[in-house]
Amino acid sequence: MAHVAVTGGAGFIGSNLVAALAKRGHSIVVVDDLSTGLASNVNPAISEFHEISIVDRHALSKAIGSAEVIFHLGARGSVPRSIKNPVATHDVNATGTLNVLEVARQSGAHVVYSSSSSVYGRNGVLPKDETMWLGPMTPYAASKLAAEGYVQAYGSAYNVPTTLLRFFNVFGPRQRPDHEYAAVLPKWIWKAMQGEPIEVYGDGSQSRDFTYVQTVIDVCLDAMDHRVTHDGAINLAYGNRITLNDTIAMLKKHFPNLQVKYVPIRPGDVKESQNSPGLLKKLFPNVTPKEFESALSETVQWLKADGQSVANGPSSID
Ligand SMILES: NC(=O)c1ccc[n+]([C@@H]2O[C@H](COP(=O)([O-])OP(=O)(O)OC[C@H]3O[C@@H](n4cnc5c(N)ncnc54)[C@H](O)[C@@H]3O)[C@@H](O)[C@H]2O)c1
């Protein structure tokens, strides 16, 4: 059993991770400011909870200073949200990460960081691998890349053990479907459940390397169990190139009357995304990803059965 901290533990990926850690009997401390995370995602029976911001270095250090492993998932997400308020995005995602690393520098904790494929931005070459140049197109991507820099610097300068993962479009149970910055898959499924049309930005030919949240959790747990560290970033996606139109065709099997509205593309949206998973498979040979269509079906079933539990937060977010 280990003492583990999860920043952003009231959020989508964080709360799935906390549940998985609890099942394995670890002692868990969650830090979250509940800005997009939900109090209902926090279970006091399985984790100690601190409603604080990672920007508050002192409070953060008090809360997670004794953790052996820190999963740092707390972040101000969403590209459009960052375009609206770049400074707030930087404060949380870049400075907040620096604060987490400062705690680890003092305590010797292993930090597992959740970066984003958005750091590739203007680099349109497919599939992506970890040796390629990075070109953030949005403040969100820039803030995640700044944080990547700090993660690597703390590894080199202070020997903080780090696992720098880059997530690509994660989806699955507990992802909020109903707020203004909701991710595409839960948003569409939720609309379809209400019999409302779904909106596609562009012609639907844009592709994503969608990754099921359970697969992400399996990699995170493996990083902790085997103390997987690596000098650079590790892309966490298995090489899917699924278009939005492919996804719509799959959703129509669940919602035969699904109506689709095509609207103009949004600034900052990447046209295509696909990872080359060689490094990931080498470092995490024990993880088998769940196949997309069955993971999508599980997500539909979950939202039908339990979606209300994550559709109870504010629909507008600052
Ligand atoms: N979901 C994806 O597809 C995806 C893709 C790439 C990277 N990521 C990264 O994965 C991590 C988790 O994302 P998620 O999808 O679970 O999003 P989420 O919004 O559900 O979770 C983020 C959590 O961080 C919390 N938070 C925000 N600002 C905070 C602050 N100042 N102090 C403390 N807590 C704060 C939020 O309340 C929320 O609970 C983030 O770092 C995100 O950048 C996610």
Neighbouring CB atoms inside 10 A of 24's CB total 12
Are the C-beta atoms of 85 and 23 separated by less than 8 Å? no
Shared-domain flag, residues 177 and 66: no
Q: How far is the CA of 257 from the centre of ligand 1 (A)?
A: 33
Q: Which atom of ligand 1 is nearest to the CA of 96?
A: 31
Cβ of 83 less than 6 Å from ligand 1: no
- CA-proximal residue: ligand 1, atom 18 (nearest): 11
Report yes or no on 277 lying in a domain: no
pLDDT digits (tens, 9 = 90+) for 258-275: 999 999 998 767 789 999
Cβ of 35 less than 6 Å from ligand 1: yes
- CA-proximal residue: ligand 1, atom 34 (nearest): 32
Percent of the chain with pLDDT over 90: 94
Report yes or no on 279 lying in a domain: no
Cβ of 33 less than 6 Å from ligand 1: yes
Report yes or no on 97 lying in a domain: yes
C-alpha to C-alpha distance for 281 and 106, rounded to whole angstroms: 32
Q: Which of 15, 29, 33, 53 to mutate to test the pocket of ligand 1 (most atoms within 8 A of CB)?
A: 33
Q: Which of 196, 207, 285 is nearest to 246 (CA)?
A: 207
Shared-domain flag, residues 10 and 156: yes
Q: Which atom of ligand 1 is nearest to the CA of 55?
A: 31
Shared-domain flag, residues 133 and 186: no
Shared-domain flag, residues 159 and 204: no
Report yes or no on 41 lying in a domain: yes
Beta bridge partners of 164: 113, 233
Shared-domain flag, residues 126 and 159: yes
Q: How far is the CA of 259 from the centre of ligand 1 (A)?
A: 30
pLDDT digits (tens, 9 = 90+) for 76-87: 998 889 999 999
What's the whole-number mean pLDDT along residues 74-103? Answer: 96
Shared-domain flag, residues 64 and 201: no
- CA-proximal residue: ligand 1, atom 32 (nearest): 53
Cβ of 89 less than 6 Å from ligand 1: no
Containing structural domain, residue 12: 3-170+211-236
Report yes or no on 315 lying in a domain: no
Write down the pLDDT at residue 268.
Answer: 67
Q: How far is the CA of 212 from the centre of ligand 1 (A)?
A: 16
Are the C-beta atoms of 54 and 35 separated by less than 8 Å? no
Q: How far is the CA of 100 from the centre of ligand 1 (A)?
A: 14
Q: How many domains does the chain have?
A: 2
CATH number for the domain harbouring residue 259? 3.90.25.10
Per-residue pLDDT at 51 exceeds 90: yes
pLDDT digits (tens, 9 = 90+) for 188-212: 999 999 999 999 999 999 999 999 9
pLDDT band at residue 302 under the 50/70/90 scheme:
very high
What's the whole-number mean pLDDT along residues 56-66? Answer: 98
CATH number for the domain harbouring residue 145? 3.40.50.720
Shared-domain flag, residues 204 and 122: no
Per-residue pLDDT at 150 exceeds 70: yes
Shared-domain flag, residues 61 and 202: no
Shared-domain flag, residues 32 and 120: yes
Cβ of 148 less than 6 Å from ligand 1: no
Per-residue pLDDT at 315 exceeds 80: no
Cβ of 303 less than 6 Å from ligand 1: no
Shared-domain flag, residues 71 and 95: yes
Shared-domain flag, residues 72 and 215: yes
Q: How far is the CA of 77 from the centre of ligand 1 (A)?
A: 6
Report yes or no on 281 lying in a domain: no
Beta bridge partners of 166: 115, 235
Q: Is the dihedral of CA 59, 60, 64, 65 positive or negative?
A: negative
Write down the pLDDT at residue 10.
Answer: 98
C-alpha to C-alpha distance for 92 and 77, rounded to whole angstroms: 10
Report yes or no on 20 lying in a domain: yes
Shared-domain flag, residues 141 and 187: no
pLDDT band at residue 229 under the 50/70/90 scheme:
very high
Report yes or no on 254 lying in a domain: yes
